[in-house]
Chains A and B, each alone.
Chain A
Amino acid sequence: GNSVTQMEGPVTLSEEAFLTINCTYTATGYPSLFWYVQYPGEGLQLLLKATKADDKGSNKGFEATYRKETTSFHLEKGSVQVSDSAVYFCALELMYSGGGADGLTFGKGTHLIIQP
Chain B
Amino acid sequence: DSGVTQTPKHLITATGQRVTLRCSPRSGDLSVYWYQQSLDQGLQFLIQYYNGEERAKGNILERFSAQQFPDLHSELNLSSLELGDSALYFCASSVQGVGVGETQYFGPGTRLLVL
Contacts and interface: CB of A to CB of B under 8 A. Distances in A.
Interface of A: 32, 34, 36, 42-46, 49-51, 89, 93-96, 99-109
A34 to B, nearest CB: 8
A3 B42 CA distance: 12
B66 to A, nearest CB: 12
Given A43-B106, A44-B90, A102 B45 contact: yes
Given A100-B56, A102-B56, A42 B98 contact: no
A106 B42 contact: yes
A103 B103 contact: no
A104 B43 CA distance: 9
B7 interface: no
Nearest to B108: A43
What range describes how many residues of B lie at the interface?
20 to 34
Interface string B27-58: 00000010100000011111110000001101
Contacts of B43: 89, 104, 106, 109
Interface of B: 2, 4, 33, 35, 42-48, 55-56, 58, 90, 92, 97-101, 103-109
B2 A51 contact: no
Given A44-B90, A96-B99, A109-B43, A104 B104 contact: yes
B58 A103 contact: yes
Nearest to B42: A108
Contacts of B97: 100-101
15 contacts: A34-B101, A42-B108, A43-B90, A44-B92, A46-B104, A95-B98, A99-B99, A100-B55, A100-B98, A100-B99, A102-B45, A103-B35, A104-B33, A104-B35, A104-B45
Q: Point out which of B2, B48, B101, B108 has the most chain A C-beta atoms below 10 A from its C-beta.
A: B101
B101 A49 contact: yes
Nearest 10 interchain pairs by C-beta: A101-B99, A103-B45, A95-B99, A51-B101, A32-B101, A43-B106, A106-B43, A44-B106, A43-B108, A108-B42
